[in-house]
A and B are shown apart, each in its own frame.
Chain A
Amino acid sequence: MTGPSNQAIKRMISLHGWSGTLVSIFLYAVVFTGTVSVLQDEINRWSDPRRDIVHPFENPIEDTYQQLAAQVPGAFRGQVLIESAGDGSLRMFFYEKRKLKGQGTVDYGRDYLLDPETHRLLAARQGVSPHRRVEAPYHDLAHFIVDLHARLLIPGRAGLYATGLLGIVLLVAAITGILIHRHILRDLFVTERLGGRVVSLRDRHGLASVWGLPFAILVAFTGTFLSFAVSLGLPVVAISAFGGDTERAFAAVTAPAKIENATPAELANLDHIVAQAYLIAGTHPQFLRVEDAGRRDARVLTVHRNGGNGAVGPHTLEFNGVTGDFLRDRPLVGHSPSLGASTVAVMSPLHIGDFAGLASRAVWVALGAVLSMSIVSGMQLWLKRRGADPVWQACRKILAVVVWGLPVMLVGAGWGFFAAVIGGDTHSGTVAGFLVAGFVVMCLSLVSYSAQALSAHLRRILAWGLVGLPVLRLQTGGVSWGEASWNNVWQVMLIDLLCLTVAMVFLLRERAEKRSAAMALDVGE
């Protein structure tokens, strides 16, 4: 087999380089924030100052369910959603499907928020369902980082389109990269040569990209799917296969077939069902849904997060609502297991890496770091090759601003969050911290005379900012290490240690570089 011609390879190098150059800054932003947001759950727990948080499904819910069901109007008793709300409280939402003018079919009913441990009533209201996002101020930091990753802070569908497009660019870069690089296996073990020459950067870029290739393709593919599936894919398929009826298309993909039986019957004990679900899936449910309570064909669904008992995808367990027997693990889409359903089910866990707890997340963070390295070294290589040109010289500074400025800005967001955590608006605090840090980075870039000096400055700021994060967290009423070890909140220690370790690595490296520079000066004299 002969590969592509030399001319074709030249064209592909040009596409690989230019596509990377034009958007690589955004690509880096998405990949870097993605790497950080792998630790979303840990950051959430770390930034949350509450000492002990009880999972709502750890305590029996049946009695409270019965009490509330007796209070609500009969029409709302059929469908129930029980979940762990955004702020950690227990939600019970009793509703019916109702057609509202201008809104189509919505879930309309009564919504109760309860204390997860004592089931004391915290809030109650009657209305339309999409109110999932309860005030969860302590999750604003992680939410901000994830939002930056998933839609670059662009609101609405446009943000999803932007990140989807970046996913396509990454895929194209991976494909052209394979086709350009004719000695992938031979160069697999060639470490970066000393000297910071073009060939050293080529080694660096090649090494990180070739090792990171499977992961790059995986995250680009799954990420593009996550961006486009609902924002573009489903509407297109709906138009083509259902004449534009998105609701019908959604129903065809998600709703299972069921034999109707309206004979009245008592609902099974929910506590027994939750206990069974825990045994099968290995985790507490994220939410539990009762369908058609009070009828013989009632169903209870428990939906669990990704992973659990060795699976990669999420579990959706279906129980008979009258006898409480376990029926089956319901596929994510369609009415029986299929290739499409199992592929869709693994898309999000393989993108986020949250299928085996901390183990998979640690691996995903490491792979994300390799991918970031590959993108940054690619940009460095591109600029090095054009070193003489003054325009590209200026770009070097931009590269430094982006590569080190973005982490500084994320740390700034963290500072803003903690500054606002006592009594303030954490969302505005996070955004303000991010923007202020960005402003500082901009000012620094204007006053510093070279890209190297700028990078060194930003690295120093990053290191000290990271050291400050745990301190600030403790000062604003965060969980102390003693309390953390008492209540088994290991996330607090993990993220604190991570901040301190990264900061130490930067500071030590800077020291070593200074010393070797001084030694070189001595020798020169």
Chain B
Amino acid sequence: MIIVASILFSLAALAVLIKQDPKRARTFGLAPWQTGVGPRFLWLLCLAPGFVLPFFMPFAHWVIWLGATIAAGWFITSLRPGLGTRLKGELTALEARILGK
């Protein structure tokens, strides 16, 4: 459970980092998300479980935390911005098709 929580915690920090990343925003022509929290602090938050876990969890759990964070981090980064809007559009279209028929 602690492992799952720490993976989710790291991913949350990563999500904010992705949202406010200037280069990503520039590439897609968006305004970066302003949170008022510096990227350094967010990185610290993201990696914090990695510093804390070894002290009260077995080594295997630390490895799992790292691996899962990396794999899921790649996945959420590889999603293009505006996914929510696209999904919403798809769902509306689906609804229209079902109701239309």
Contacts and interface: CB of A to CB of B under 8 A. Distances in A.
A/B: CB atoms within 8 Å of each other = yes
Interface of A: 186-194, 204, 207-208, 211-212, 214-215, 307, 309-312, 350, 353, 355-356, 359-360, 363-364, 366-367, 369-370
Contacts, number: 87
Contacts of B67: 215, 353, 360, 363-364, 366-367
Contact of A355 (B17, B60, B81): B60
A189 B23 contact: yes
A311 B58 contact: yes
B74 interface: yes
Nearest to B73: A211
B64 interface: yes
Main secondary structure of the interface of B (DSSP, over half): helix
B61 A367 contact: no
Contact of B74 (A211, A360, A364): A211
Interface of B: 3, 17-18, 21, 23-24, 27-28, 57-61, 63-64, 66-68, 70-75, 77-81
B64 A191 contact: no
- By Cβ-Cβ distance, the 3 closest A-B pairs, closest first, are A310-B58, A211-B74, A366-B71
B74 A363 contact: no
A190 B58 contact: no
Contacts of A191: 24, 27-28, 77-81
A312 B71 CA distance: 20
27 contacts: A186-B23, A187-B23, A189-B17, A190-B27, A191-B24, A191-B77, A191-B79, A191-B80, A193-B28, A194-B80, A208-B74, A211-B73, A214-B66, A214-B70, A215-B67, A215-B70, A310-B57, A310-B59, A310-B61, A312-B60, A355-B63, A356-B60, A360-B63, A366-B67, A366-B68, A367-B70, A367-B71
A189 B43 CA distance: 13
Given A189-B24, A350-B63, A207 B78 contact: yes
Contacts of A369: 71
Contacts of A366: 67-68, 71-72, 75
Given A310-B58, A312-B60, A360-B60, A211 B70 contact: yes
B64 A356 contact: yes
Contacts of A211: 70-71, 73-74, 77
Residue among A189, A214, A310 with max Cβ neighbours from chain B (10 Å): A189
B60 A310 contact: yes
Contacts of B80: 191-192, 194
A393 B60 CA distance: 46
B60 A363 contact: no
B70 A212 contact: yes
A343 to B, nearest CB: 13
A210 to B, nearest CB: 9
B74 A212 contact: yes
Contacts of A307: 60
A189 B18 contact: yes
